[in-house]
Structure 1
Amino acid sequence: MKWNLLFMTMALAASSPAFSSEPPKEGITLSGLSLTVEGDSLRVRFRAHIGRQATEGQNYKLTLRPVLSGGGHELALRNIEVYGRRVELLEARSGRAEVAGLPTHDLRQPAAGSQRAHEGETADYSVSVPLERWMETAGLRIERERSGCCRTERLGTVEAAPALPSLPEPSAAGVKSRATELAAAAGAASTGDSLARSFGFVEPLSALEARMNTASAAKGLFDPDMELNMGYGTAPSQQAEIDRYIVEGEKGALTVHFRQGKHLLERHFRGNNATLVNLVSSIRMLQESKTSRVVRVVIVGSASPEGTLAFNDRLAWNRAVALKDFLLRNTAFPADSMTLFNGSEDWRGLRKLVAASDLYEREEILRIIDNVPVKKGRELELMKLSGGRPYLYMLEHMFPELRNAAFIKVYYENLPDPAAEALSRGAALVSQGLYKEALEVLSSASAGAARDLLEGSARLFSGDEAGAAPLLERAAACGEPEARKLLDQLHAASAPREVGTVELPGRR
């Protein structure tokens, strides 16, 4: 009887897989464990090598539950369920009448969405979840659970991949500084404004309009009904207007020189070449510009006072016409947008030269110029002064400076450029950290590396890393260093984390 009882006890112990206090090995190894950012997703991969007795009993099921965690966040991934042999047989018989009425949990049906695995096999595990910022440094733990027909036992948790320290957020400081530069550059001077800073003879149209609108007792110099042929005598009222116009705008005006008594334009006479090159180049640049356009060219011809007034009057006009013809041959600027005036005899210029000289008779010369009308013998009075010595000096040293097209100005106006304005406004918004507002504006900005940097940065700091990356890649490829810095920071967060082999400990 004692032997029979002992035999029954041994048989029961062998057939009943009781939960031992000893920790037998489960026989599961995870290899190739990695956490990788792929675009806007995080992928978790590993291979589970399952031993032949991983469930530690044929009537049991072992559940492995991977969980991402970090920064106070958690996300459970798809389970792996490993079945003992007898559980699988019971499941296979589930359609038979004698077991059809058993509860589902007794049949060990797999939980919804779980990955099924078998003892003695290798299971490839791969799960991709929508990426959230906290996942870039998250760790992975494996929660384990062993269940049978009567009870469920929670096993220990394995930290398969430890959480990393939080990565620093991409810095916006460099981008904001660059955005400030781009805002200034996008809103920078137009072609006309740039030329006006370099050349005094280029002026905005507003400067011309101001002179046109200046009140005067005489008929306006730019009156559309004014007489056009001014080569045969200039009305005193018009001459006064011309003199006033020159005085108001002579600063920076170009001067092209002619030989005495001639109106033939010689390119290589007295530095004319550089003057003409600058004039033609500026007009061409304005004509080709997308930000400005040339509106009008004003030419005032003049002559030195020696000789008769009638001859000098025609000579001054013909010099203006010569310069107009030169511009028509060398630019595509229309003739009807050139305005010519006859400066006649340039007494105003002569007075200016005398006043700046150290001539002994300077005050007497100025008195004659100011008080003796031209038609009442002004030149004759100068010729008589001091035996003609001052006149001969002026004839040799001053009159050559007055034989010219004495006043040449190019007037322009700026053109609206909505795309450039949008880029400037968008850059200003990025520099202020107003990223959502910047994205709305930048949609109509000029395409290019600047826009890619600004839009990519705005998307990044608005939380759209997936949308930011291709824009920053393009900007970096075009030489924007701030785009490369941001990409490096993003790549540091998305670099694959290879963990290697993880041994799951036994049941405790």
Structure 2
Amino acid sequence: MRSLSSILLLALGSSVCNASALRGNGVDAQWIDSTALRLSFVLTEGDSVGSNYAVIATPRLVTAKGDTLLLKPTVFRGKRNMRYTERARFYNNAQQATADEVALGSEVRYDVMLRRADSPWIWEDKVYLDVAREKEGCCNVEDMAGRRMGDMVYVPQFVPALAVVEDNAGKAGELQKDNPVLMHVSQYKPYDNTRILRKEKGALYVHYPLNSSELKRDFRDNAQTLDRIVDITRSIMADSTSSVKIIQIVGLASVEGSQKNNVSLAGRRADALKAYIQKRVKISDKLFDCANGGEAWTELRDQIADGSFDGRDELLHIIDTEKNPDKREQMIRQLDGGRPYAYLRDNVLSDQRNSGYLRIYYDYVPDTAAKTINEATELMQEEKYDEALRKLLTVKDDKRAFSPLGVAYYMTGNRQKGLEYMKRAAADGNVQAKRNLEQYEAIMKAEQLKEK
């Protein structure tokens, strides 16, 4: 939305009684964003000073505080003065003058680019464009009345600070920020044994003793995990704007022992966790998705592949080539005198004696106000402010609409109403509203300077 901002410059007519009026016609000034000023104007001097004289005209930018920037001077010479000067330079073998020299009555166009980094005061105060003049004769130089061509004030362009409003996902959405075990139901996917659960961030796990499906609070860190599961579920169930849709539990067992026993064990472990939750939270069976993951061969293979120990490659080969799970386990136990298996027993298998995986999926009442506000924001980004304002007025009581309402009112000409909403949003901590208020205050300051 950035555009070229025109300078506020008033071209003044000549009011000096001297007949050789310096004209300020053709003055043009433009602020190029907030970093540069392009100033163009035409300078001329009449011939009333006479043919024997020259007028040295020096344009300058000044402020009431005394800041001054001199531009390149121009010398306007009468016909005789021009001949005298050229003759003197010829006989004295003098260098040509550095200032532009033209005949009286000529027009000289100035086109200068000024950088904020070099003269920041031009952007901070009321600046006058005037011309200092001196009359030069054969033997002396005397001051002449100056000419004011105009005054200018940099008025910053208002570039609205806008942001997308987050969906209000209810209590579940709020909890999700600190509890990645929560996911929106749109992200749900059924379990299959190709998934590497341990690498899915945010899931919670409870652990079981070897060959047991008894869920003990005092085993490892179960108490903390179980309390967290129950607290999250209760909070969402009590909220009117969000709801639990699926509690997914995948029961797993380590690969130790017979496959038949382990598959049964994994199923009982998943059921035990489900029963624990239902005993503490009133929740229907239909909200549970309990999957029997059986022996955790996928998890085991992934952990072995990530490790670095003797027998690693041989273990991977056995897992990848032996199809019978019971025979596969036996080969792993016997490999290299049981040393690789001992490593697995002490460092890996204990983590697989658990219910495997739990995640809670939620849904929430659609946030239509957020949708409306975001649609209005898109319209303002396309500079369709009237249409955006009409949309925003339908949700004007939602405090998330205050900041964009401030922008919409401001850009449609109702500055007072815009300021009111900007202040309300800023008081509520809205970052965009604070930035817009800063811009508004800078613009008001500049406009007050203009009126002085």
Taking structure 1 as the reference length, the TM-score comes to: 0.47
Aligned-residue identity in percent: 28
Residue matched to 1:408: 358
Residue matched to 1:184: 164
Q: Which has the higher contact order (CA 8 A, sep 6+)?
A: 1
Distance 1:385 1:492 in 2: 83
Contact 1:304 1:402 in 2 (8 A): yes
CA separation of 1:474 and 1:383: change in aligned 2, threshold 3 A:
closer
Q: Which amino acid aligns with 2:196?
A: V
Q: Does 1:208 align with 2:158?
A: no
DSSP-derived class of the 2:359 partner: strand
Residue matched to 2:388: 438
Residue matched to 2:259: 309
Correspondent of 1:271 among 188, 213, 221: 221
Q: 1:113-151 deviations in whole A, cap 9, x for unaligned?
A: xxxxxxxxxxxxxxxxxxxxxxxxxxxxxxxxxxxxxxx
Q: What RMSD, in angstroms, separates the aligned Cα atoms of the two structures? A: 4.3
DSSP-derived class of the 1:343 partner: strand
Q: Does 1:395 align with 2:345?
A: yes
Distance 2:426 2:348 in 1: 61
Residue matched to 1:28: none
Distance 2:408 2:187 in 1: 41
CA separation of 1:300 and 1:478: change in aligned 2, threshold 3 A:
closer
Residue matched to 1:251: 200
Q: Does 1:353 align with 2:303?
A: yes
Q: 1:430-453 deviations in whole A, cap 9, x for unaligned?
A: 455433112210122262444344
DSSP-derived class of the 2:263 partner: helix
CA separation of 1:357 and 1:466: change in aligned 2, threshold 3 A:
closer
Residue matched to 2:367: 417
Q: 1:331-350 deviations in whole A, cap 9, x for unaligned?
A: 45433111111122222322
DSSP-derived class of the 1:443 partner: helix
Q: Does 1:458 align with 2:438?
A: no
DSSP-derived class of the 1:342 partner: strand
Q: Which amino acid aligns with 2:185?
A: L
CA separation of 1:364 and 1:435: change in aligned 2, threshold 3 A:
closer
Q: Which amino acid aligns with 2:393?
A: S
CA separation of 1:344 and 1:456: change in aligned 2, threshold 3 A:
closer
Distance 1:398 1:477 in 2: 54
Q: 1:354-405 deviations in whole A, cap 9, x for unaligned?
A: 3334443333333333343446533333333334343333323322111011
Residue matched to 1:323: 273
DSSP-derived class of the 2:336 partner: helix
Taking structure 2 as the reference length, the TM-score comes to: 0.52
Q: Which amino acid aligns with 1:313?
A: V
Contact 2:249 2:355 in 1 (8 A): yes
Contact 1:421 1:445 in 2 (8 A): no
CA separation of 1:463 and 1:398: change in aligned 2, threshold 3 A:
closer
Contact 1:303 1:345 in 2 (8 A): yes
DSSP-derived class of the 1:243 partner: coil
DSSP-derived class of the 1:267 partner: coil
Runs of 5+ unmatched residues, structure 2: 1-150
CA separation of 1:330 and 1:441: change in aligned 2, threshold 3 A:
farther
CA separation of 1:286 and 1:249: change in aligned 2, threshold 3 A:
farther
CA separation of 1:258 and 1:470: change in aligned 2, threshold 3 A:
same
DSSP-derived class of the 1:184 partner: coil
Residue matched to 1:381: 331
Distance 2:154 2:309 in 1: 78
Distance 1:439 1:264 in 2: 61
Q: Which amino acid aligns with 1:208?
A: Y
Report the alpha carbon displacement of residue 299 of structure 1 after superposing the two structures with TM.
Answer: 0.9
Contact 2:164 2:374 in 1 (8 A): yes
Contact 1:200 1:251 in 2 (8 A): no
DSSP-derived class of the 2:200 partner: coil
Runs of 5+ unmatched residues, structure 1: 1-164, 213-220, 222-241, 495-508
Contact 1:301 1:344 in 2 (8 A): yes
Distance 1:365 1:488 in 2: 71
Residue matched to 1:297: 247
Report the alpha carbon displacement of residue 417 of structure 1 after superposing the two structures with TM.
Answer: 1.4
CA separation of 1:248 and 1:360: change in aligned 2, threshold 3 A:
closer
Report the alpha carbon displacement of residue 320 of structure 1 after superposing the two structures with TM.
Answer: 0.8
Residue matched to 2:18: none
Report the alpha carbon displacement of residue 294 of structure 1 after superposing the two structures with TM.
Answer: 3.7
